[in-house]
Structure 1
Amino acid sequence: MAAMTHPYVEETPGVCGGYPVIRGTRTPVRVVVEIFEQTESIDATLEYFDWLEQEQVRGALDYYREYPERVEEDRRTEHEARLALMARSQARRERPRTGA
């Protein structure tokens, strides 16, 4: 876990893998960044995260600019987990069915 203090972002062991989330929520910074990258708009990002305030979204984006390596690590970890889950799911579908 990164050892830093940020007004809008926190990292807590056991919450979202210990990766950065919006303070007081379980909203990962990586997801806010991904939506902002897709929409290129604070307003559109706020529509997606209607439970967040503008300052929180801007804070998450500021955090990403300050600590990109931490957020990118979370993105890689999430991507790898998604690929592993898809592979397990595919393997189950390909198993021969037995039974009555």
Structure 2
Amino acid sequence: MEQIFDRIFIDPNICNGKPVIRGKRIYVQTIMEFLSSGETHQAILEQYPSLEPEDIVACLKFATELTNHSFIIKQAVA
């Protein structure tokens, strides 16, 4: 299991290796989707009472770190 930012974990045995919050089965992707659709931090915390405000901040940090990498787009082979 790899721990990222003290709250984000990646474990191939939990949720098929998708990044989750503190070993829970709550995907970072789920929280990011809520945020991108305009949900407030408070609304997310109400929907997921086991989360803490710092968990949402960790998701944002994780997403920011992902965009800090360079990417190469490969053309599809026909």
Q: TM-score, normalised on structure 2?
A: 0.71
Matches within 5 A, 1:38-77: 38-68=37-67
Identify the residue that residue 17 of structure 2 maps to in structure 1: 18
Runs of 4+ aligned residues of structure 1 deviating over 6 Å after TM superposition are none
Q: Distance in 2 between matches of 1:51 and 1:39?
A: 21
The DSSP-based 3-state class of the residue aligned with 1:51 is: coil
After TM superposition, give the deviation of residue 66 of structure 1 in Å: 1.1
Q: TM-score, normalised on structure 1?
A: 0.57
After TM superposition, give the deviation of residue 27 of structure 1 in Å: 0.7
Unaligned runs of 5+ in 1: 69-100
The DSSP-based 3-state class of the residue aligned with 1:39 is: coil
| Greater fraction of residues in helix | 1
Q: Distance in 1 between matches of 2:20 and 2:5?
A: 11
Q: Distance in 1 between matches of 2:21 and 2:9?
A: 6
Unaligned runs of 5+ in 2: 68-78
Could you say which structure has the larger radius of gyration?
A: 1
| Greater fraction of residues in strand | 2
Aligned residues: 67
